[in-house]
Structure formats: C-alpha cells, structure tokens
A and B are shown apart, each in its own frame.
Chain A
Amino acid sequence: MPRGQPPLSLPALIYEPKVRGIIFQVLLLAALVVAAWSLASNVAVNLQRQNIASGFGFLDRTAGFEISQQLIDFKPTDNYGRAFVVGLLNTLLVAGLGIVFATILGFTVGVARLSSNWIVSRLALAFVEVVRNMPPLLTLFLVYFAAIKTLPGPRQSIELPLSSFLNVRGLYMPKPQWLDGSSTIVVAFIAGIIASMLLARWARQRQVATGQQVPIFWPSLGLVLGLPLLAFMIAGQPVAFEYPALKGFNFSGGMVVQPEFIALLFGLTVYTAAFIAEIVRAGISGVPKGQKEAAAALGLSAGQSMRLVVLPQAMRIVIPPLTNQFLNLTKNSSLAVAIGYPDLVSVFAGTVLNNTNQAIECILITMGVYLVLSIVTSIGMNMFNARMALVER
C-alpha cells in the first residue's frame, strides 16, 4: 500500500492488486491441498480395497538381492533403503560425470563447428547431425552391444599398462589400499588446490594492478600434484595396491569399471554433446562480430579472443538452454536398465518394486528424486547465470 494514503475499507482492499494477488494464491494453494489430500486418501482406500500392500514401512526390510555396481558397501542382508541409496549414487555418478564430459565435448565441437578449417567444421557438423538424429536408446544399444561384442572374454583379456586388464566384463585396475598415514596425502591434495586458487587470485589482482601476467597453469599443476606426492614420500609411502588377478570365471580383486557404466556414460555424453554443440554455436554466433574484431585489434590471438572475449559473452545466451540439456541428460540416464546398469530406476523402480509389489510408493519416490535433481540443477545453473550476467558492462 503506498504510503500516505488513508487505510482502505474491506471491499476496496479486495480490489487492491497486491492483496487480491495474495487472496488468489491462498485460494489456489488451498484447492491444491484439498485435491492432493483427496487423491491420497482415495489411493489409500482403493489400494486397500484391491488388497495391494501400501505404506513406506518396506524401506527397512531386508533387500536380499545383489547390485552389480556399488559406491557404498551393499550386501543382500542390507535393507531396501540402502538399496535405494546405492541406486541413487549410481544415477548421480553417471549423470554428474556425463554432464562434465558432455559439456567439455559439446563446447569443443561447438567451437569446431565455427572453425575456419573446412575439414574440422565439416567433421563437427557430421558429428552433430548423425548423433542428434538418433534416438538416445538406440545410441545406447549401439554403444553397449558394439562394446561387449568386440571385447574378448576374461581369459583373452587385453593387457594394459599399470597391471590393468580390459575384457567383456569391464576394465580391471589395481585398487589403492589406504594404509595408516594416508590421510596426509588427502590433506596435501586439498592444500594444493587451495594454494593454486590463491595463486590464481593473486595473479589476477597483479595483472589488474600492473598489467603484468604471471604464468599460473604449471605452478598450479605442480602444487596440486606435487604436494600430495611429497606427503606420500614423507609419510613413508602409506598406499598399497591390490592387483586384479584371473580367478575362476573372472578377474577378482582390484577395482572394475563395468561395460554398462562405460557404455551409458559414453552414450549420454555423446548424445548430449551434440545438442550442447549447437547451443554453443548459436551462442557464439550471437556475439556481435565487432567484439572479435576489437579483440584482434587489441592484439589478442584467436584463442585468447575466443576464451577471454567471445565465450564469456556467448555464455549468457548459452546457459539457459544448457540447463535444459543437463536436465535431459539426468533424465535420460534412466534408460540405464535397458543396458543393465543399476541406476535408481533399475534398482528401485525395478528390483525393489518387483520384490515388494509396492508400485505406487516406488514410482513416487523415484519421481520425487528426479524432481529434486532437476530443481537443484536449475537453481545451480540460475546462480551461475546470474554471475555471468553481472559481467555485462
């Protein structure tokens, strides 16, 4: 209510836009609550009438099944709740890495699309057109079955450096065993990261103040890798390795990256990168040409002008549709069960649902998870977007 006016009477209050807005919001909310409540109670009544088990009590019942990939320990004697977490972590792992790789690949291809080198730009175009026009499920089948049909069996494994082996069952690598004193290595690693961040900040301030550039890439790399190495030596090499060895049907020991995971990650990365590439190309094309010319006039190299002048401005066009692609990648990761990767949908909306017959609960929880993941991604990207927008002069 604007200041200085006399207080309004009740009928007039209803015509006050702000008040009216609030009234409508409250009414809408009330309607939603009533609808949700009647839906829920109807579901409960009908489930009982049809004699379908309901409730969330099943979450702490014994699961009784194995999961092929587990980021936290999982045994058949653990409960469904823990199985849920294992599936969720598998989803987060593949979606998180997928987003990182798809972004890197997408930006590379997007920039290559605009390259003045004819072959490079045509190759990028071909990549985009082929990948973008294939259904993601088909891409996954193609990658997965191509992989497992060509890789040799465990007994004919391909030997790789560092005592690693590749076969149809996956990539087997030595597994580090963290012995006493190994925590210093982690501490040193974190210290290295912080130190290199401080270094970068100092270098930037110095450049702003004096115009002098300090090289930061190699010193940072030295800090991030060198400090842990130093700690490793000083602490008396507290890391041992467990090597994979052929035993019975298969390799045991060490760590293994399954073909399902590699195929899913690869398929999602490639598929999403094709879309990101187009977004990036559109973003770059949206930056006025004069910016590039001005950068050239200032004596920046082509690479510098792209990195320091064009891309930061293109980002403002790129981020909103990029967010969509991140969400798509996360949702597409639920195609996992088609190629045998134990993601959330496979483990929880699949095996657990099958065990418990509690379809409504399992599907609702699964949908809730995707909703939360999407909202979190969107919020993160909006914050990033706000930061990029501030760069405007």
Chain B
Amino acid sequence: MDAGIRNRRIAITTAALLAVAAGPAMAQTKTLDTVKARGTLNCGVNTGLAGFSMPDDKGQWTGLDVDLCRAVAAAVFKDATKVKYVPLTAKERFTALQSGEVDMLSRNTTWTMSRDTSAGLSFVGVNYFDGQGFMVKKSLGLKSAKELDGATICVQTGTTTELNVTDFFRANKLNYKPVVFEKLDETVAAYNSGRCDAFTSDHSQLYSERLKSPKPDDNVVLPDVISKEPLGPAVRQGDSGWGNVVRWAHFAMVNAEELGVTSKTVDEMQASANPEIRRLLGKEGDFGKGMGLDNDWAYQIVKQVGNYGEAFDRNVGAGSRLNIARGQNALWTKGGLQYGMPIR
C-alpha cells in the first residue's frame, strides 16, 4: 500500500519503456492511418502553462501549442475538436511519445540535437522561438543574471533548463546551488516561499508563472537570454509521412498569415486569383493528397484554427493577458524568424 506513488510511477514508466523496447519488432505502422482509424488525435501537451496549453474554466484546452494539435486534427478530420489532450510533465513527455501513448508532442519542447538524434524523436518545426532566463524578487534589485553569483536556483527536472543553467554559471565562472523539483508547481511554490533566489525557465514560461504568482509585481524577469530554446512539435522518428502532416500544418498557418488569409477571410479568399493562395487553399494542385489528406487540409486549418498570427495574438500576444511581443516570432518579412516553406 505504502510502496509509494513513486514506485508505482517507476513501474509504469518501466512498463512503458519495455513495451517500447521489448515488444516484438513491430511492423512500422503509419501513425496517420492509426489516427484516422481511431478518429481522434492523441496530442501530448503541457500540464498547465498559460498561453501554451492550459484548460480554461470550462475545461476547454487553449493555447498556442494546443492550436497546433487542433490544426492537425482539422487537417486530418476536418474537425479541430477531434483531439484528446494528454497532459505530460517534462519528465514524462518523451516516454509518452516513444511508447505511442500520444501521436505527437506539442508541449513547449526544445528542439535539441540529442533529442532529435538519439531519443527516437523527430522535431518537425518551431512554433515558438524562446530563450531561457531568470525570474527574481524585485526587492533584490538585480539588473543582470551575471549578478547571481552564489544564488540558490529552483529548477524543474527533465528540461533543457536544468542543463543550460549549469552551462551559464560555468561559462561565467559563477557559483550557484540548484534545488531540483519534479513538478512545475512545487518548483514555483519553493521559489515563491523564498527557498530560492531565482526561478529559471524559458522566458515565455517565466512570464506565465509571474502572472500566476500571488504578487506578480514583486517579481521581475531579468533581461538576459542565456540559451536558444526553439520550441516545437515532435513525432516518433521513422514515420516521415506523419512528420509531414504535422510540419505542414504549422507551415500552413505561417503561410496563411504571410498571405493575409485569416479565419474570417478564408472563405472569400477561395475565389482569390493569387496562385499562392489558390495552392494553399487546395484550389490548385494536389498538395493534400501527397500527404494522404484531402486538398482542403489547409483551408480547414485556417477556417477552424486561424493563421499563425491569429493564434499567437489570441494566446500569448497582444490579445492575451501575457501580452508578449512578436519579437523573434514575427514573420521573416517583418524581421522575425517565422518562415513558412513554400507550398508548391
């Protein structure tokens, strides 16, 4: 009975791992076929990160990462609601994907080389360019992260955050003491009660946690960006067909923004003479068919979910409480890094 929740968890993880690894070498099933046959998309999301993936007061999942799940469902089923959201902690997420519990991860996950090449995953895009930073108590009067010598820092395990923070202090020849927690809630609670001088995470998450904290104004996010955190969706390695679906769902949203196609204008745009818009909306060419979908795949995405700009605005940008500037996430035409590969 009191063998502990943890032991049960280890047991489950191990069982899942063995299921991945020890099962008879399964035939490479195509995720797209599995998803179609099941009738819902199993999408791995965050347990609760405002702006990215969080259930609202009616239990509806919303956020930028959630919108990518919805976009994929819209492309596959013509119905953005056919998604089962599976909330995952940092530590659980890759096992969940590897073992087939989810079809894709859309969970503020950093695209790194080791994850892409030795963890059995493939990253297929970047839906938010981020970077790691620190949140500290305003009363400390700090201006830069370089002043954190000797500080105690609260971190969540299973993240790139945990790894970068050491690099930063080593590179700057500073000392620090980590306090490592498994779950975000405890990490933040420990920071809030003064156990740590700083809480470190991706900037977007710092903003989100700052808003959630009992007194947001008592905390400041230091301006330093200590790492590159390209956050994006991932699928299992070895199923490039399914990878295409997720990758192009994201590009469709970015291209729609660039072409000025929004959820409101998409119907009238169907009559547009612009060949790029005609290809995006499936009026010309067989682009959907090539992925095993219908040619209106991108129309469905824009109609039901909106373009990238709309999603950004509504979830994390000017139209949201987070009010994050587009910055690096502006379109490449506006000085940002979001660049949709051409549909042709």
Which residues of chain B come closer than 8 Å to A42, judged between CB atoms? 21-25
Residues of A within 8 A of B236 (CB): 50
A258 to B167, CA, bound (A): 24
Inter-chain contacts of A53 with B (CB < 8 A) = 118-119
State whether B95 touches A359 (Cβ < 8 A): yes
Query: Nearest-CB distance from A57 to chain B (Å)?
Result: 12
- Interface size of B in residues (CB-CB distance below 8 Å): 60
Alpha-carbon separation in the docked complex, A335 to B3 (Å): 10
Asked whether, in the complex, the Cβ of B180 is within 8 Å of the Cβ of A335, the reply is no
Nearest CB in chain B to that of A346: its residue: B180
CB distance from A352 to the nearest CB of B (A): 10
Expressed in whole angstroms, the Cα–Cα distance for A136 and B22 within the complex equals 33
A345 touches B118 (CB 8 A): no
Q: List B contacts of A294 (CB < 8 A).
A: none
Report if B7 contacts A (CB, 8 A).
Answer: yes
Taking a contact as CB atoms under 8 Å apart, the answer to whether A65 and B189 are in contact is no
CB of A68 within 8 A of CB of B2, answer: no
Q: Which residues of A contact B159 (CB under 8 A)?
A: 354
Residue in chain A with minimal CB distance to B13: A363
Given contacts A76-B170, A345-B6, A349-B10, contact A50 B177 (CB under 8 A): no
| Interface residues of chain B: helix, strand, loop or mixed (majority) | mixed
| B149 interface hit (Cβ, 8 Å) | yes
Query: Whose C-beta in chain B lies nearest to the C-beta of A272?
Result: B2
- Which residue of the partner chain, among A45, A65, A338, A359, contacts B183 with CB atoms under 8 Å? A338
Nearest CB of A to B152, in Å: 6
Chain A, interface SS category = helix
A202 interfacial contact with B, CB 8 Å = no
Q: Which residues of A contact B18 (CB under 8 A)?
A: 39, 43
- Mark each residue of chain B from 110 to 125: 1 if its CB lies under 8 Å from any CB of chain A, else 0: 0000110111100000
A149 at the interface (CB under 8 A from B): yes
Partner of B91, one of A67, A148, A354, A360: A354
User: Are B178 and A68 in contact, CB atoms less than 8 angstroms apart?
Assistant: yes
CB contact between B181 and one of A43, A64, A340 (< 8 Å): that residue: A340
A49 contacts partner chain B, Cβ-Cβ < 8 Å: yes
| Residue A182, interface by CB 8 Å | no
Answer yes or no: A169 CB below 8 A from chain B CBs. yes
What's the Cα separation between A68 and B17 when bound, in Å?
29
Also in contact, A169 and B195, with CB within 8 A (given A76-B170, A337-B180, A367-B14): yes
A357 contacts B2, C-beta separation under 8 Å: no
- List residues of chain B with CB within 8 A of the CB of A50: 20-21, 98, 120, 236-238
If A42-B22, A135-B5 touch, whether A357 touches B114 (CB-CB below 8 Å) is yes
Q: Are B91 and A355 interface neighbours, CB within 8 A?
A: no
A148 touching B157, Cβ below 8 Å: no
Q: How large is the interface on A (under 10, 10 to 19, 20 to 34, 35 or more residues)?
A: 35 or more
Say yes or no: A363-B91 contact (C-beta < 8 A), given A52-B118, A168-B194, A351-B157: no
B341 at the interface (CB under 8 A from A): no
- List B contacts of A259 (CB < 8 A): 195
Residues of the A chain whose Cβ atoms lie less than 8 Å from the Cβ of B118: 51-53, 357
Q: Are A68 and B21 in contact (CB under 8 A)?
A: no
Asked if B163 lies at the interface with its beta carbon under 8 angstroms from chain A, I say yes
Given contacts A45-B25, A168-B194, A367-B10, contact A252 B5 (CB under 8 A): no
Q: Is B339 an interface residue (CB 8 A)?
A: no
By a CB distance below 8 angstroms, the chain A residues around B189 are: 145
CA distance A141 to B5 in the complex (A): 14
Chain A residues whose CB sits within 8 angstroms of the CB of B114 once the complex forms: 357
- Specify which chain A residues have a CB less than 8 angstroms from the CB of B166 in the assembled complex: 64-66, 76
A164 within 8 A of B: no
Residue of A135, A334, A340 near B10 (CB, 8 A) is A334
The residue in chain B whose Cβ has the minimal distance to the Cβ of A275 is B2
Chain B residues lying within 8 Å of A200, measured Cβ to Cβ, are none
Q: B-facing mask of A37-60, CB < 8 A → 1, else 0?
A: 001001101110111110000000
Q: Mark A248-291, 1 if CB is under 8 A from B, else 0.
A: 11101000000110000000000100010000000000000000
B178–A65 CB distance below 8 A: yes
A237 to B3, CA, bound (A): 48
Write the nearest CB–CB distance from A70 to chain B, whole angstroms.
11
Is A342 an interface position by the 8 A CB rule? yes
Please tell me if B150 contacts chain A, counting CB pairs below 8 Å.
yes
Q: B interface vs A, CB < 8 Å?
A: 2-7, 10, 13-14, 17-18, 20-25, 91, 94-95, 98, 114-115, 117-120, 148-152, 154, 157-159, 162-163, 166-167, 169-170, 176-183, 186, 189-190, 193-195, 197, 236-238
The 6 closest A-B pairs by CB, nearest first: A53-B118, A357-B119, A50-B120, A52-B120, A43-B21, A350-B157
Q: Which A residues are within 8 Å of any B CB, using their own CB?
A: 39, 42-43, 45-47, 49-53, 64-68, 76, 135-137, 141, 145, 148-149, 153, 168-169, 247-250, 252, 259-260, 271, 275, 328, 331-332, 334-335, 337-340, 342, 345-346, 349-351, 353-355, 357, 359-360, 363, 366-367
